[in-house]
């Protein structure tokens, strides 16, 4: 028997409606993002040092702060999965945008910011779907699956998902085209693919083309499933090429895999048909 208050469901089962699946995927994505990101703080990742230097924080102090930041992230992810509420979603939206912006602030390029749209696109969508309350109590009340989805909410689901997918694909492609990013080189050469500058350009352009297809023609048959498998496959290269602990890099990018699933499920739902019909009537 299904229940609107279930924390865990099978999101691929036909027993559950679109609203329940959406509620699960949003929570699951935030959980993965914050647990994956938080892990690197707990183990004091050296790659975080440039972000602390943006605020003129020296290495010893930075290393002492990292576990606190990591523990905060992990706790937030778990709480939002079990007890989602607007107040913590507002913080999650701010924090994911803030940490993504630290990358160009640390002279890593704007592609790094756009490539992380899977991290901040999901909590922003989650928060907007439930709207900002007028009373203090509602900020902390436990959110539940939507009973139904309005025309405005349906448009939010489609366009926030599409723009976020466009951003993360184009941003990742930009890392190859404009920056010849060393992590891309490492991951691809680690599985035997020769990543010359020319091959990186082709790889990046391919991802940018995918981004524009999502933005302009997202209902091309098989496109969203391909993007889901492609992103999951690429991000799994981290533990394959690196160490087993690099699986947390894969987990941190949970939004990259969840967004195409949400969009795929939305296009299969009756809400898309209703929204399309209403748009044609109103001339939108």
What's CA 149's distance to the chain center, in Å? 22
Local structure of residue 142 (DSSP, 8 states)? P
Residue 113 in tokens: 């910011």
In this predicted model, what pLDDT tens digit does every residue of 205-233 receive, in sequence order?
999 999 999 999 999 999 999 999 999 99
- Structural tokens at position 109: 């390029």
Distance CA 182, CA 176 (A): 9
Question: Contact 29/254 with Cβ under 8 angstroms?
Answer: yes
What is the C-alpha radius of gyration for the chain, rounded to an integer number of angstroms?
Answer: 19
Stronger pLDDT, 19 or 189, i.e. the higher one: 19
CA distance 141 to 156: 22
Query: CA 243, 192, 199: angle at the middle one, nearest 5?
Result: 115
41-44 contact pairs (CB < 8 A, 24+): 41/66, 41/67, 41/68, 41/69, 41/70, 41/71, 41/73, 42/66, 42/67, 42/70, 42/71, 42/74, 43/70, 43/245
Q: According to DSSP H, which parts of 107-196 are helical?
A: 110-115, 117-130, 136-140, 151-177, 182-190
Residue with the two structure tokens 């905060």? 72
Q: What is the pLDDT of residue 281?
A: 60
Burial of 197 (0-12, 13-18, 19+ CB in 10 A): exposed
Closest C-alpha to 265, from 1, 26, 8, 7: 26
pTM of the model: 0.93
Measured between alpha carbons, how far is 74 from 38 in angstroms, rounded to an integer? 5
Q: Among 37-51, 153-167, 266-280, where is mean pLDDT lowest? A: 266-280
User: How does pLDDT run across 75-124, given as a tens digit for each residue?
Assistant: 999 999 999 999 999 999 999 999 999 999 999 999 999 999 999 999 99
* Among 230, 249, 259, residue whose Cα is nearest residue 183: 249
Q: What is the mean pLDDT of residues 197-208?
A: 91
């Amino acid at each position: 028997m299904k229940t609107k208050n279930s924390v865990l469901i099978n999101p691929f089962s036909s027993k559950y409606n679109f609203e329940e699946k959406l509620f699960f995927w949003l929570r699951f994505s935030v959980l993965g993002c914050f647990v994956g990101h938080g892990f690197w703080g707990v183990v004091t990742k050296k790659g975080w040092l440039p972000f602390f230097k943006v605020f003129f924080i020296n290495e010893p102090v930075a290393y002492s702060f990292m576990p606190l930041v990591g523990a905060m992230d992990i706790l937030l992810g778990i709480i939002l999965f079990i007890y989602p509420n607007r107040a913590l979603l507002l913080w999650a939206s701010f924090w994911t945008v803030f940490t993504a912006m630290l990358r160009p602030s640390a002279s890593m390029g704007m592609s790094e910011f756009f490539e992380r749209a899977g991290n901040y696109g999901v909590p922003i969508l989650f928060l907007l779907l439930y709207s900002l309350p007028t009373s203090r109590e509602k900020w902390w009340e436990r959110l539940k699956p939507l009973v139904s989805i309005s025309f405005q909410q349906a448009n939010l689901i489609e366009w926030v998902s599409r723009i976020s997918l466009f951003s993360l694909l184009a941003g990742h492609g930009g890392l190859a085209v404009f920056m010849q990013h060393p992590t891309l080189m490492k991951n691809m050469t680690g599985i035997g693919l020769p990543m010359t500058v020319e091959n990186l350009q082709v790889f990046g352009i391919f991802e940018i083309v995918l981004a524009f297809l999502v933005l302009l023609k997202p209902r091309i048959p098989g496109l969203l499933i391909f993007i889901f498998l492609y992103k999951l496959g690429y991000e799994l290269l981290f533990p394959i090429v690196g160490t087993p602990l690099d699986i947390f890099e894969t987990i941190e990018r949970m939004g990259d895999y969840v967004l195409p699933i949400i969009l795929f499920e939305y296009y299969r739902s009756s809400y898309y048909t209703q929204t399309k019909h209403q748009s044609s009537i109103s001339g939108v």
